[in-house]
A and B are shown apart, each in its own frame.
Chain A
């Protein structure tokens, strides 16, 4: 009986510790959770109506700051895009693919002096084009992102593709 009580107490302590850990995530875990949630938002499996695609695209764009800097080393591309543009692009991209998945590997998070989070990670975007003969695509890139915490949580302010292989 005493052993049963001890096990019960231990279980309660572990449960409380887990609840605390889940309820008060560190800044690093908040950023990692944001990236994980972005991966889930990008995910698409099977057919999707226009309304659902628009909602999903808006959800994806909500992970970005109202104005986001996008840069691709090696392509000489640098642009500042608005959240609406990201939503439009995500909507168009979802319409062209029957399956999309985004995976983030090995994220390393550093915090800057102004509270921004600098993330370096490998991302893999893969999927299949719409239709029976839809061509599959797979893109793997090393990326650097800057996220900043606002009232709506962590938002991506800058994304840049790192040029690992330079032609």
Chain B
């Protein structure tokens, strides 16, 4: 048999079920579980509010410790948690606490100045009177501004609900 000539390959592909090997398997399983729960959590996008940046059905990883040592900045995409962590909202930060946000003829204004948003591709006709972001909050909006304003979930969210950021 060809594998007999490569004992290392054979041992890798057909390992012997020794206690040490089982311990290694258990350690890898526990590490993977912890890593993919608390560090990189896989998720699938459902819905079109972040299109075209994050299309419906696309697969990504959520980097949970992303904001452990830093604060979300304008333009970054963040994950907002709801009651638990199994369902998250993916949104883009457009304004920080204390800033004033408004939409005029589809253009986003922050502190009275239009914001350049290269990630917004479709046409937009949103109108929203100015409002100030409260302390401890961030203002988040999806990239898909072609959908009617009433159907789009956006607004200010408590900083404590930011769970992390997508890896890409």
Please judge, given known A-B contacts A122-B87, A140-B89, whether A165 and B82 are in contact too, CB under 8 Å: no
What band does the interface of chain B fall in when counting residues whose beta carbon is under 8 Å from A?
20 to 34
The answer to whether A165 and B140 have CB atoms under 8 Å apart is: yes
Is the Cβ of A165 less than 8 Å from the Cβ of B156? yes
Residues of A near B140 (CB, < 8 A) are 165
A124 CA / B84 CA spacing, docked (Å)? 13
What are the residues of chain B within 8 A of A122 when measuring CB–CB? 82-84, 86-87
Query: Which A residue sits closest to B149, measured CB to CB?
Result: A167
> Does residue B159 face the partner (Cβ distance < 8 Å to A)?
no
Chain A-chain B contacts (Cβ-Cβ < 8 Å), number: 57
Question: Is the CB–CB distance between A124 and B128 below 8 Å?
Answer: no
B61 interface residue per 8 A CB criterion: no
Is B42's CB within 8 Å of the partner chain A? Answer: no
Given A140-B89, A167-B131, is A120 in contact with B83 using a C-beta cutoff of 8 Å? Answer: yes
Q: Let me know if A76 is at the binding interface, CB within 8 A.
A: no
Q: In the complex, which residues of chain B have a beta carbon less than 8 angstroms from the beta carbon of A106?
A: 82-87
Q: CA A13 – CA B131 in complex, angstroms?
A: 64
Q: Give the distance in Å from the alpha carbon of A151 to the alpha carbon of B74 in the complex.
A: 54
Task: Give the residues from 125 to 168 in chain B that come closer than 8 angstroms, CB to CB, to chain A.
Answer: 128, 131, 140, 153-157, 161
Majority secondary structure, A binding face: strand
In the complex, A80→B149 CA distance in Å?
29
A 39-77 to B, binary, CB cutoff 8 A, 1 in contact else 0:
000000000000000000000000000000000000000
Assess the A164–B80 pair: CB atoms within 8 A.
yes
Query: What are 15 A-B residue pairs whose CB atoms fall within 8 Å in the complex?
Result: A105-B82, A105-B87, A106-B84, A106-B85, A108-B84, A121-B83, A122-B82, A122-B87, A140-B82, A141-B82, A164-B89, A165-B153, A166-B155, A167-B154, A167-B156
Known: A164-B82, A164-B161. 15 other contacts (CB 8 A): A105-B82, A105-B87, A107-B83, A108-B83, A121-B84, A124-B87, A138-B46, A138-B47, A142-B82, A163-B155, A164-B89, A165-B154, A165-B155, A165-B156, A166-B156
Which 8 A-B pairs have CB atoms at the shortest separation, nearest pair first? A106-B84, A165-B155, A167-B155, A122-B82, A142-B82, A122-B83, A105-B86, A122-B87
